[in-house]
Amino acid sequence: MSVALITHPACLEHDTGPWHPECADRLRAVLRVLEAEEFLPLLRETAPAATEAELTRVHTLDYVRAILAVRPPPGERTVLDADTLMSEGSAEAALRAAGGAVLAVDAVMEGWARSAFVAARPPGHHAEAARPMGFCLFANAAVATRHAEARWGLRRVAVVDFDVHHGNGTQAIFATEPGLFYASSHQFPCYPGTGGESERGVGNVFNAPLPPGATGAAFRRAWESTLLPALDGFAPELLIVSAGFDAHKADPLAQLRLETADFGWITARLMEAADRHCGGRLVSLLEGGYDIPALAASVALHVRTLLRAGHSTSAN
């Protein structure tokens, strides 16, 4: 079985303006690098629009309808908070990003793909049940998780997050649910200010905060000593990855010092965990990454590792 690549042109129409770091050029660069010959085996699929029912498993109905009603005139933007805004195409882009996450779950559960990468925007892990935050409108990983429960009857779903920013939205949605698991490495202190080690939910939340300037060695230690053992203890039936690449040393929005190779390493470790617990079923969702060359190179290695025959553990 191969790897599904799920995206939609509407995700390029979320127009954040000329100076916003979460811009359409990020996704263009990702899709361009994945056009290389080595990625021909990818199963290329078009993201559907998430339905109201899928979204309201996570978000309040009033919130969903309010976000979808924001349709500024062409060339204008509606500011939701200091970091988050919407253009004429943003609502459709958000629907496709969430819907792509849902399709990715179906792909691995139906078995026509072993894993899936959703190349979509806006990202999702900061969005809360009734609040947009940090460039995010809908909580894509949480929407995917609730779909896995509702359609496939799964009782243990894990989300792991290696974005440089803590996924406060995912954590808040999961925190009281013992059948859900959230693990994150992230810079601390940093936006959004959450993600301390003491934040444990109902014993299902594991945070590994890293200080500014931490390198790949510290990142790997955090996963090897804390987060991966916790994931093994939970033994998920499905593994969902919030794949942010802004911990790269070139990224302008934070101060971790990861190399591109570190993203290959964590991808391989997560694949091994998926093999141990859930038949290799792994869904990866694009989150952050704001230095475009670093983002493209890191995504290429991430997807290359997903494609690697036999789930080799040689990434370094």
Question: Mind telling me the catalytic residues?
Answer: 126
Residue 198 forms beta bridges with which residues?
none
The three-state secondary structure class of 111 is coil
Residue 141 forms beta bridges with which residues?
none
Residue 30 forms beta bridges with which residues?
none
Tell the residue number behind the tokens 């056009």, with chain if given. Answer: 35
Instruction: Read off the tokens for 217.
Output: 């060695």
Helix axes 260-278, 292-307, angle to 10 degrees: 30
Give the list of residues 6+ apart from residue 198 with CB closer than 8 angstroms, or none: none
Assess contact for 202 and 171: CB atoms under 8 A: no
Assess contact for 4 and 101: CB atoms under 8 A: no
Strands (E), the chain: 2-7, 43-46, 78-79, 85-86, 113-118, 157-161, 180-187, 205-210, 238-243, 282-286
Assess contact for 184 and 226: CB atoms under 8 A: no
Assess contact for 247 and 162: CB atoms under 8 A: yes
